[in-house]
Structure 1
Amino acid sequence: MKPVTAAQPGDEQGAAIEAASMRHAPGLALFWSGILGGASWAAAQAGVRPDLLLLVVSDTTIWFSVVSSISLMEAWVKFRAPLLERHVGVDLGRRVFRGQYAMEAACALTACGLLWSAGSGSVRSGLDALPGGAGWLLAGAAAILLLELGLVFPALDLRGKVLIASSAEPAELNPRQQAYVQELQESTAGGSVPPPYVHLVSVLLAVAQVALLGGCLWRLLLSVAGA
């Protein structure tokens, strides 16, 4: 593919289009942290019993739903659409996953805060307070999230940038899109591309995370039901 020509004066040439298009993640993290944290605080103040179990169940249910619906369904279904060009799907996926990780971070932080409060200032004590080892399943899911945020998603994100920069056709783009692709070409030029197996690692981690969150939910619900 030939390099994209620079946009004409008056277009958004030189603007940080990529950075601007990714600003939704912090907003989502703050929004969901406020919703989950506020609901948890209100429930605790109202004397919901048992406080820790029901609140962690609610938080973990949202977390489980986000991972299973996006990582294990939306991403796979999306690329089966015949009219969706691969670079368009990848560009969309980068934003969806960034939003997903923002919501996951909000869930993880809320759970951490609940456990810290229940453990009188010790998250470990809070984990031990959850029945049936559910707390350590939740901790395992949080550890996977940290691994995804620190290593896996940055590698996938870089692969996505390279794919978009190399496969988008300039003739089919408007000036703003041309400037965006040019920005990606410049940011990835000369750099190494993460190996393809990073996609498999991502899927395996998502499956493991869903299993851990599902196991945590099952044990918590059994405890709430008195089983």
Structure 2
Amino acid sequence: MSEEVKVFGFWSSPFAHRVVLALRLKGVPYEYVEENIFGNKSPLLLQYNPVHKKVPVFLHNGKPIAESLVILEYIDEVWKSNPILPNDPHEKATARFWAKFFDDKCMPAIWKAFWCPDDEREKAVEEACGCLKTLESALNGKRFFGGEEIGFVDIAANFVGFWLRTIQEVTGLELVSAEKFPDLLKWSDEFVKHSVVKESLPPRDKQLEFNRVIVAKYEAGEIKA
């Protein structure tokens, strides 16, 4: 019996990309449904994620799941091949900790550093760099956060691997550099060069142009940070 697997996402969303990447790493066939997150969201998206009304939404045999980290754990439980979470309970808990640290601490700090008022920038950049330094410590000399293979934390931190560097290029604000975070930058290079990651990322030129549009809209006051 064939399984229904659908991903409701947005091409530039690092959170939707998490789900797509996990499925591709495991070789799970899926249908992708593109959403317009800046316009009219589809009735199905609102039906399947009535609480947050955002992507990604994962649909498995008619049953919806929201929130990317929750979806990743579900995928790993259902499809056992190429596990993204360790089997060891302590290692699994540690991976969950770092993924949550990234979402709860790193992402808000990074976002604030780029979009805060100018008079708050220095403090915001310092806070973001502090979070990134802590994240970098989790690599501990490994190729990936998951060891020799991409795992749960690598997928969770995908924003740093690709999106952050394209935002830096457009805004001119450099948070991650070889001088400040050599291990994190090396990880980023390894991550985006991985064959499965490379195939699933947005086209770089398209992402850069999208970033320029967002920056222009923000500077014009059309969107809020």
Q: Same fold (TM over 0.5)?
A: no
TM-score (norm 1): 0.25
In our comparison, the structure showing a higher alpha carbon Rg is: 1
Structure number with higher relative contact order (C-alpha < 8 Å, ≥ 6 residues apart)? 1
Task: Determine which structure has the larger helix proportion and give its number.
Answer: 1
